């Protein structure tokens, strides 16, 4: 039996943001994640947009939390050493009569409290977004939109939470939750039993299943699939802003996204998924995305695409569901966190903190909370002059493993020492294998470093956890 | 800042042949940069025969062919070799910024030859839809795993595309005990050399499905199967022809892309569709004193042709140096 004050189910951006916020207080916290690494669920497919608060209904919970999150995230990013960049967004209109739609979006956003919005004309666009289709007549400009690396945000949140005493349990799916008097027993990974006074359900796509373990039936997650396609880093300066078409009833449309790593992203689609594992991309999805983004920026070519993936949004109705279950004191649901969930995450964490207080747990601030985390080093984001000093300090920074994205052996080792266990985990943390050769040149070298750091034979190494072993056998070992 | 007369980026067959030819013409200060820990480039993983039939009238393996050049390069006092050295930036004034363990160097050359080879087209570039499980490899990566690292990538394999590397790997995997289920080719006939179709597929009864494509990769964690369909002459799927092939591995052998990102960075005129610099004659880029050799300039079928042409590029670099001296 492992006794805790708080147990968080789910190691995505919501679970880790809540863990980091609650680690400011004198309580014992456990975070359980079913996958082999954090951010391997909904968060890994996030496009990294920090939304300004446009296109969320002004009276909705997600609108309020998006706006608050956009403000909070800046200080969080600074404390965690995550690169946040305010690039601004443009919602574009191709017809004069669509100006009225832009005005309505502007009014809604302003009533929510979004600042700095303005409708810009053709001349402004020609100067500030030169590759935009000249047929765009006007756009709504929201300067407070930004970008961040979604996975690095999760990893850095978790690392900071761990610095402040949070216990992390990976490969710990929850199979049963038994309410007791003033506590819950949470059964995980077969027979491990945790005991906690408060359980926070941040299980993403599986939040409905976790809620059902305690008899809550009214949360149903309908996964909505989004395919996204990454462009070569050579096209980094394709756009200066995030580009949005006019929104549709179910989504913000198909976008041109600047990413924190430099590679533009185009997408996503929005289609009902067949299952919670339905992560396939399709010919139809690609065709739809290309047609849509080429309308906004005609120079985008199919050959610019170097990678693609699909993600699932955990949709549960129109709004976020964030509530303390009065009938089950101590059980807090954080479900249906679709877009703009990444933006809202810090504000959601504060809201959950208040719900924890409501549940009766006393939150006394720690005298020593380590607010700051030493930023990770990414050679690709530095000028080579500063790389020189790094290489002089540690020769392994000059040992380039991934040449497409300029990632050194030292960064790979750092990523593993900080928690990467798989090739995908290394990719998300460092970008190694994420470039135009797609790991063709660096995979074997990364496998060697991973095998060495983990003390495992090569056939035990995986892409993303058990079942995704990379090779069948090695010369020295034959598991078959 | 070091200032050699000639810097050559890449010490595969093209880079080595160009270096030796420039030396033979009288260039005395040549710096040969190689990002790997050995000379020889991709030849080191090509352990099959068929190299050198024209150049040496011999049937060499890749490493044997490379060795003919490596010995000479290593013995040449005019050629300085810098291994594990990665050229990260190239500026129009012919300054290369290079990283290697423990050092970052700026090298300003009087002339530069890019012999940077090529990378493989990936699954992502075709693109093949479906899931993204473990077990999808560029064929050249699978070759490196098997021949240099002693790793068997999978046990039941489908190969997408009939490029030479894919054909060679079909035979190689079969010899190592894997079962190659099929090679799927979009075009009406194989893209590889005729001798490879015979020696690598027909001799091992491996089916080649031309005018077919992989329509989907299946599998949550590891590849489980692929869906395949026949296509018509306009490359559209033919209704009613779809079938599945179970497999745990998919190799992608659908062509090569010359690696010229450094030239592009410095503003050389580029053919963006081929990803090669625009050349007005063999190896001569739009930037004065900047040359391209080997697969970086044009994808070759035979290494014998690579070294033959690269020698000419090495001579042109020498002529340039003489002209500006």
- Whether residues B127 and A286 touch (CB distance < 8 A) is answered with yes
Residue B189 in any domain: the answer is: yes
Residue B132 in any domain: the answer is: yes
- Whether residues A234 and B222 touch (CB distance < 8 A) is answered with no
Residue to mutate among A266, A386, A400, A442, with most B CBs inside 10 A, is A400
**A198 touches A330 (CB < 8 A):** yes
Residues of B in contact with A283 (CB under 8 A): 129, 215
Do B227 and B130 belong to one domain? yes
What is the per-residue DSSP string for B252-275?
E---EEE--HHHHHTT--EETTTT
Q: How does A291-321 read in b/e, with b if 16+ C-beta sit within 10 Å?
A: ebbbbbbeebeeebbbbbbbbbbbbbeebbb
Residues of B in contact with A408 (CB under 8 A): 99
Residue B188 in any domain: the answer is: yes
Tokens 């995450």: give the residue.
A345
Longest dimension (CA), chain A: 69
Q: Domain residues for B31?
A: 6-119+256-321
Do B37 and B147 belong to one domain? no
Do B126 and B114 belong to one domain? no
Cβ-proximal residues to A282 (8 Å cutoff; 6+ apart), any chain: A227, B129
Catalytic positions of A, written as ranges: 51
Residue B80 in any domain: the answer is: yes
**B122 touches A440 (CB < 8 A):** yes
Q: Which of A231, A232, A213, A211 is nearest to A221 (CA)?
A: A211
- Whether residues A392 and B102 touch (CB distance < 8 A) is answered with yes
Separation between Cα atoms, residue B324 and residue B113, nearest integer Å = 16
For residue B185 the two structure tokens come to 């080719």
List phi, psi (to 5°) of B131. -85, 175
**B145 touches B324 (CB < 8 A):** no
Chain B residues 229-248 within an 8 A CB cutoff of chain A: 248
- Whether residues A384 and B152 touch (CB distance < 8 A) is answered with no
Query: What is the pLDDT at residue B164?
Result: 92
Residues of A in contact with B273 (CB under 8 A): 303
* Total domains present in chain B: 2
Angle at CA B100, nearest 5°, toward B318 and B285? 30
Cβ-proximal residues to B110 (8 Å cutoff; 6+ apart), any chain: B3, B4, B5, B6, B94, B289, B321, B324
pLDDT truncated to tens, each residue of chain A (480 aa)?
A: 779 999 999 999 999 999 999 999 999 999 999 999 999 999 999 999 999 999 888 889 999 999 999 999 999 999 999 999 999 999 999 999 999 999 999 999 999 999 999 999 999 999 999 999 999 999 999 999 999 999 999 999 999 999 999 999 999 999 999 999 999 999 998 789 999 999 999 999 999 999 999 999 999 999 999 999 999 999 999 999 999 999 877 678 999 999 999 999 999 999 999 899 888 999 999 999 999 999 999 999 998 999 999 999 999 999 999 999 999 999 999 999 999 999 999 999 999 999 999 999 999 999 999 999 999 898 888 887 888 999 999 999 999 999 999 999 999 999 999 999 999 999 999 999 999 898 999 999 999 999 999 999 999 999 999 999 999 999 865 544
- Whether residues A398 and B100 touch (CB distance < 8 A) is answered with yes
**A256 touches A90 (CB < 8 A):** no
Q: What percent of chain B is modeled with pLDDT above 90?
A: 96
Do B260 and B115 belong to one domain? yes
What is the per-residue DSSP string for A378-441?
-GGGS-HHHHHHHHHH-GGGGSEEETTTTEEHHHHHHHHHTT--SHHHHHHHH-TT-STTTTTT
Average pLDDT (B197-217) is: 97
Parallel, antiparallel, or unpaired for β A331-335 and A192-201?
A: parallel
Separation between Cα atoms, residue A204 and residue A221, nearest integer Å = 9
Whether pLDDT at B325 is above 70:
no
**d(CA B24, nearest CA chain A) in Å:** 32
Tokens 């706006």: give the residue.
A67
Neighbours of B58 (CB within 10 A): 13
Which of B104, B134, B220 has its CB closest to that of A469? Answer: B134
**d(CA B189, nearest CA chain A) in Å:** 24
Residue to mutate among B9, B41, B99, B173, with most A CBs inside 10 A, is B99
Do B261 and B291 belong to one domain? yes
Cβ-proximal residues to A340 (8 Å cutoff; 6+ apart), any chain: A49, A51, A53, A56, A62, A66, A69
Do B128 and B245 belong to one domain? yes
Task: Give the predicted TM-score (pTM) of the model.
Answer: 0.95
Do B248 and B144 belong to one domain? yes
Do B174 and B72 belong to one domain? no
H helix intervals, chain B = 13-25, 62-75, 139-149, 164-175, 194-196, 261-265, 303-324
Do B62 and B182 belong to one domain? no
CA distances from A395 to A86, A387, B98, B99, B288 (A): 34, 11, 13, 10, 34
- What angle, rounded to 10 degrees, do the helices at A150-163 and A423-430 form? 100
Chain A residues 346-385 within an 8 A CB cutoff of chain B: 384
Query: What is the pLDDT at residue A252?
Result: 82
For residue B297 the two structure tokens come to 């300039």
**B84 touches B35 (CB < 8 A):** yes
- Whether residues A391 and B138 touch (CB distance < 8 A) is answered with no
Tokens 């599945």: give the residue.
B244
Residues of B in contact with A303 (CB under 8 A): 125, 273
Query: What is the pLDDT at residue A190?
Result: 77
Query: What is the pLDDT at residue A384?
Result: 78
Chain A residues 196-235 within an 8 A CB cutoff of chain B: 234
Q: Look at residues B214, B230, B252 and tell me which one is the last residue of a structural domain.
A: B252
**d(CA B282, nearest CA chain A) in Å:** 26
Separation between Cα atoms, residue A185 and residue A197, nearest integer Å = 9
Residues of A in contact with B89 (CB under 8 A): 384
Do B202 and B296 belong to one domain? no
Residues of A in contact with B133 (CB under 8 A): 463, 468
CA distances from A110 to A49, A348, B113, B309 (A): 20, 21, 58, 65
Neighbours of A71 (CB within 10 A): 15
- Whether residues B134 and A396 touch (CB distance < 8 A) is answered with no
SS3 at position A186: strand
Residue B1 in any domain: the answer is: no
Q: Look at residues B233, B252, B271 and tell me which one is the last residue of a structural domain.
A: B252
Residue B215 in any domain: the answer is: yes
Do B215 and B261 belong to one domain? no
Angle at CA A312, nearest 5°, toward A185 and A210? 15
- CATH code, domain with B173: 3.50.50.60
Chain B residues 93-122 within an 8 A CB cutoff of chain A: 97, 99-104, 119-120, 122
- Whether residues B101 and A277 touch (CB distance < 8 A) is answered with no
- What angle, rounded to 10 degrees, do the helices at B13-25 and B62-75 form? 30
Q: Look at residues B252, B282, B301 and tell me which one is the last residue of a structural domain.
A: B252
Do B160 and B279 belong to one domain? no
What is the per-residue DSSP string for A262-313?
S--EEE---EE-SSTT---B-HHHHHHHHHHHHHH-TT--GGGEEEEEEEEE
Separation between Cα atoms, residue A13 and residue A86, nearest integer Å = 20
Q: Does A476 touch chain B (CB under 8 A)?
A: yes
Q: First vs last Cα of chain A: how many Å apart?
A: 37
């Amino acid at each position: 039996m492992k006794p805790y004050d708080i147990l968080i189910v789910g190691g995505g951006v919501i679970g880790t943001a809540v863990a980091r916020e609650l680690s400011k207080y004198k309580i014992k916290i456990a975070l359980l994640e079913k996958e082999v690494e954090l951010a391997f669920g909904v968060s890994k497919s996030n496009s990294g947009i920090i939304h300004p608060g446009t296109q969320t209904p002004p009276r909705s919970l997600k609108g309020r939390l998006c706006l608050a999150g956009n403000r909070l995230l800046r200080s969080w990013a600074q404390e965690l050493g995550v690169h946040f960049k305010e690039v601004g967004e443009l919602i574009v209109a191709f017809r004069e009569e669509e100006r009225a739609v832009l005005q309505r979006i502007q009014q809604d956003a302003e009533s929510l409290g979004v600042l700095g919005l303005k409708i810009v004309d053709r001349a402004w666009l020609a100067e500030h977004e030169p590759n935009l289709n000249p047929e765009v007549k006007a756009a709504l400009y929201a300067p407070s939109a930004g970008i961040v690396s979604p996975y690095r945000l999760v990893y850095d949140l978790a690392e900071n939470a761990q610095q402040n005493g949070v216990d992390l349990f990976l490969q710990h799916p929850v199979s049963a939750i038994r309410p007791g008097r003033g506590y819950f027993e949470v059964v995980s990974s077969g027979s491990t039993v945790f005991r906690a006074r408060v359980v926070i359900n941040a299980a993403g796509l599986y939040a409905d299943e976790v809620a059902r373990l305690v008899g809550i039936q009214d949360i149903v997650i309908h996964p909505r699939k989004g395919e996204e396609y990454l462009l070569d880093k050579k096209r980094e300066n394709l756009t200066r802003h995030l580009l949005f078409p006019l929104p549709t009833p179910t989504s913000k449309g198909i976008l041109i996204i600047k990413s924190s790593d430099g590679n533009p992203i185009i997408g996503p689609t929005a289609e009902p998924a067949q299952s919670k594992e339905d992560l396939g991309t399709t010919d139809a999805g690609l065709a739809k995305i290309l047609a849509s983004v080429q309308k906004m920026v005609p120079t985008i070519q199919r050959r610019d695409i170097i990678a693609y993936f699909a993600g699932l949004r955990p949709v549960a109705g129109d709004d976020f569901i964030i509530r303390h279950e009065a009938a089950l004191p101590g059980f807090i649901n954080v479900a249906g966190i679709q877009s703009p969930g990444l933006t809202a995450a810090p504000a959601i964490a504060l809201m959950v903190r208040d719900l924890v207080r409501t549940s009766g747990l006393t939150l006394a601030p720690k005298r020593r909370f380590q607010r700051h985390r030493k930023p990770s080093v990414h050679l690709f984001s530095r000028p080579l002059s500063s790389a020189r000093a790094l290489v002089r300090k540690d020769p392994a920074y000059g040992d380039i493993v991934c040449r497409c994205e300029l990632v050194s052996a030292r960064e790979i080792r750092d990523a593993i020492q900080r928690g990467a266990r798989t090739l995908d985990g290394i990719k998300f943390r460092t970008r190694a294998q994420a470039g135009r050769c797609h790991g063709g040149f660096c995979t074997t070298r990364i496998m060697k470093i991973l095998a060495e750091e983990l003390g495992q034979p090569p056939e035990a190494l995986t892409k993303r956890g058990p079942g995704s072993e990379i090779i069948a056998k090695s010369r020295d070992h034959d598991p078959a | 800042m070091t200032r050699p007369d000639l810097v050559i980026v890449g010490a595969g067959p093209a880079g080595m042949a160009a270096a030796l030819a420039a030396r033979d013409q009288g260039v005395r200060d040549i710096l040969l940069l190689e990002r790997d820990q050995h000379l020889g480039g991709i030849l080191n993983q090509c352990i099959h025969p068929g190299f050198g039939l024209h150049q040496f009238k011999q049937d060499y393996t890749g490493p044997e062919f490379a060795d003919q050049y490596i010995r000479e390069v290593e013995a040449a006092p005019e050629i300085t070799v810098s291994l594990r050295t990665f050229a990260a930036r190239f500026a129009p004034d012919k300054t290369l910024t290079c990283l290697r363990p423990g050092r970052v160097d700026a090298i300003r050359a009087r002339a530069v030859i890019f012999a940077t080879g090529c990378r493989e087209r990936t699954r992502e570039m075709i693109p093949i839809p479906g899931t993204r499980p473990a077990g999808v490899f560029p064929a050249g990566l699978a070759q490196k795993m098997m021949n240099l690292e002693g790793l068997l990538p999978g046990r039941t394999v489908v190969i997408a595309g009939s490029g030479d590397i894919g054909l060679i790997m079909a035979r190689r995997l079969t010899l190592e005990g894997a079962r190659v289920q099929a090679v799927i080719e979009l075009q009406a006939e194989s893209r590889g050399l005729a001798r490879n179709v015979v020696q690598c597929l027909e001799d091992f009864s491996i089916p080649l499905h031309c005018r077919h494509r992989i329509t989907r990769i299946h599998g949550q964690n590891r590849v489980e199967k692929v869906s395949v369909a026949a296509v018509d002459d306009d490359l559209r799927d033919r209704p009613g022809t779809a079938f599945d092939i179970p497999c745990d591995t998919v190799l992608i052998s659908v062509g090569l892309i010359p690696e010229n990102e450094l030239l592009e960075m410095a503003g050389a005129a580029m053919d963006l569709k081929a990803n090669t610099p625009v050349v007005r004659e063999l190896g001569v880029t739009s930037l004065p004193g900047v040359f391209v050799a080997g697969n970086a300039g044009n994808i070759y079928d035979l290494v014998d042709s690579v070294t033959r042409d690269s020698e000419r590029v090495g001579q042109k670099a020498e002529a340039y140096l003489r002209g500006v001296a």
